[in-house]
Amino acid sequence: QQQVKQSPQSLIVQKGGISIINCAYENTAFDYFPWYQQFPGKGPALLIAIRPDVSEKKEGRFTISFNKSAKQFSLHIMDSQPGDSATYFCAASSGGGGNKLTFGTGTQLKVEL
């Protein structure tokens, strides 16, 4: 499987702060870049996704920034809350959002009071 590299592996943020997670990909055929949130013992849930024709997408407190030339994309969580504490995975696929995903290695986020 083509790699998607994700960093950092873990992240601790104070309540109200900004959480930033970065991903980089290699396969230029990728055309769909989602972010998933996973709580322990649960399946991943789609947070937000972007396609390479836009450089930024915002939904509520979550923003994806996309740099096509650098083959990088990032997730920003504004006003981070303790309830945001979870593992976050970036992913990528080609041929649209319904195709198989290649996942990043995951980032364990902890938001402290």
Partner 1 sequence: GAVVSQHPSRVICKSGTSVKIECRSLDFQATTMFWYRQFPKQSLMLMATSNEGSKATYEQGVEKDKFLINHASLTLSTLTVTSAHPEDSSFYICSASARSGANVLTFGAGSRLTVL
Q: Which residues of the shown chain bind partner 1 in the complex (CB under 8 A)?
A: 1, 36, 41-46, 49, 89, 96-106, 108
Q: Which is nearer to partner 1, 18 or 46 (CB)?
A: 46
Give the strand pairing for 107-112 and 10-14. parallel
Closest CA to 80 of 67, 66, 65, 63: 63
Shortest gap between Cβ of 64 and partner 1 (angstroms)?
A: 15
- How many other β-carbons are positioned within 10 Å of the β-carbon of residue 49? 16
Q: Which is nearer to partner 1, 69 or 100 (CB)?
A: 100
Token pair 């083959």: residue: 71
Q: Which is nearer to partner 1, 17 or 106 (CB)?
A: 106
